[in-house]
């Protein structure tokens, strides 16, 4: 291969890498403009499935990475053992949404019947033109005298 051919090939590789970087950057900008209601819907849909004991329906809302770690049976066991209190919540309110790459982090506040609040942080990932739940971090429960601030939607 001649030197000119090698330089042309190297230039084509750099051009391809540059185009891919621009495309990825454009996708990330588009994801950051996702209406928060779209993320709320994914979480609400999963909660509705849990409350109806529809674990296959809830499982459809989790990411491929999560599905690689847990099959449907392990997922159902995890939901039944680690998160049963959340299903007793009288309502769920959503808070701040932050984006980082193809991930969105959503604050959710589960208001329990006795008035306590259980804050959670959902990590959603963009997969195949849809947002999927990748993980949920349950934070320490707040006492009933603590109130949520902000605007209700």
Domain borders along the chain are: 1-33, 35-138
- List Cα–Cα distances, 136 to 22, 42, 86, 90, 143, in angstroms: 31, 13, 12, 19, 21
- Average pLDDT of the chain is 83
The sheet with strand 117-127 has its strands ordered as 91-100, 103-111, 117-127, 130-138
Helix ranges (H only) for the chain are: 3-32, 36-51, 55-59, 64-69, 72-82
Q: What is the tens place of the pLDDT at every residue in 1-17?
A: 787 766 656 555 555 54
Question: Residues 100-115: pLDDT tens digits?
Answer: 988 999 999 999 999 8
Of 27-31, 34-38, 134-138, 145-149, where does mean pLDDT reach its minimum? 27-31
Domain 35-138 has CATH 3.30.450.20: no
Q: Is the pLDDT of residue 153 over 80?
A: no
pLDDT digits (tens, 9 = 90+) for 33-90: 788 999 999 999 999 999 999 999 999 999 999 999 999 999 999 888 888 888 889 9
């Amino acid at each position: 291969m001649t030197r000119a051919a090698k330089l042309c090939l190297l230039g084509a590789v750099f051009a391809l890498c540059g185009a891919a970087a621009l495309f990825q950057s454009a996708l990330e900008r588009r994801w950051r403009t996702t209406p928060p209601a779209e993320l709320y819907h994914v979480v609400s849909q999963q909660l509705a499935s849990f409350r109806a004991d529809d674990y296959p329906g809830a499982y459809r809302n989790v990411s491929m990475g999560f599905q690689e770690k847990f099959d449907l049976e392990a997922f159902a066991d995890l939901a039944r053992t680690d998160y049963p209190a959340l299903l007793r919540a009288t309502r769920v309110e959503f808070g701040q949404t932050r984006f980082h790459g193809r991930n969105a982090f959503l604050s959710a506040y589960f208001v329990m019947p006795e008035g306590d609040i259980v804050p959670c942080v959902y990590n959603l990932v963009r997969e195949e033109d849809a947002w999927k739940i990748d993980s949920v971090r349950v934070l320490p429960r707040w006492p009933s005298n603590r109130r949520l601030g902000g605007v209700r939607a």
